[in-house]
């Protein structure tokens, strides 16, 4: 079957933006090759959906560039059956990538309009392992804790206490930390009531509110 233009663009994204920049996890690469990123932006943005930069999605939010989504996802070291908490549903694209790999995804969003749009898209594509929660991302979702992994898609000044407490012992949190103008992405591994912290590089995210 002949591939569509969008499928070719998606394949090019995987090869040029992810593999060439060091993303190696086959599960991550397969998820990016499958998930239709153009479905998570408006129709006027679709021709740019597979380019290596963020795009606006409304309400002052963006869909992150593909490489950053891949870097964050790979850092979680996910396997099938894992339970993941995502803070900041946004467009739902990162949620879809997580849902392709993890057993269960719980995603928290505090902007009703964005959550409704994301849920509509994800339901339409056919995901049935996602639970949507509207609320304060800094508080997480204690009802289903602990989580094997937590991914935060907005920048905090420090690791939110509630999120740390909801992380399973030995679990991994990926979170941007810093202020408005200087942030780094960190991989936090919970160990014996403390944590190991690894800097994955500079990023720019909206603040965690």
One-character DSSP codes across 10-61:
HHHHIIIIIGGGT---HHHHHHHHHS-GGGGS-TTTGGGTTSSS-EEEETTE
Lookup: tokens for 41: 């932006």
Give catalytic status of residue 194 as yes or no. no
Catalytic residue among 64, 73, 144, 184: 64
Structural contact between residues 195 and 165, judged by C-beta atoms closer than 8 angstroms: no
Question: Which residue, 175, 169, 160, 176, is CA-closest to 195?
Answer: 169
Catalytic residues: 64
């Amino acid at each position: 079957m002949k591939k569509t233009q969008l499928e070719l663009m998606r394949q090019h994204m995987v090869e040029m933006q992810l593999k060439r920049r060091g993303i190696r996890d086959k599960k991550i690469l397969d998820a990016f090759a499958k998930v239709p990123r153009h479905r998570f932006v408006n129709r006027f943005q679709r021709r740019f959906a597979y380019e290596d930069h963020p795009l606006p999605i409304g309400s002052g939010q963006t869909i992150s560039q593909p490489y950053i989504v891949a870097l964050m996802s790979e850092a979680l070291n996910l396997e099938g059956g894992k339970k993941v908490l995502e803070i900041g549903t946004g467009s739902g694209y990162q949620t879809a990538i997580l849902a392709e790999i993890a057993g269960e995804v719980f995603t928290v969003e505090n902007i009703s309009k964005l959550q409704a749009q994301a849920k509509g898209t994800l339901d339409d594509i056919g995901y049935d392992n996602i639970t949507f929660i509207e609320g304060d991302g800094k508080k997480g979702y204690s009802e289903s804790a602990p989580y094997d992994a937590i991914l935060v898609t907005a920048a905090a000044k420090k690791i939110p206490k509630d999120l740390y407490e909801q992380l399973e012992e030995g679990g991994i949190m990926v979170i941007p930390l810093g202020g408005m103008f200087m942030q780094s992405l960190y991989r936090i591994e919970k160990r014996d009531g403390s944590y190991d912290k690894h800097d994955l590089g500079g990023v720019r995210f909206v603040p965690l509110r």
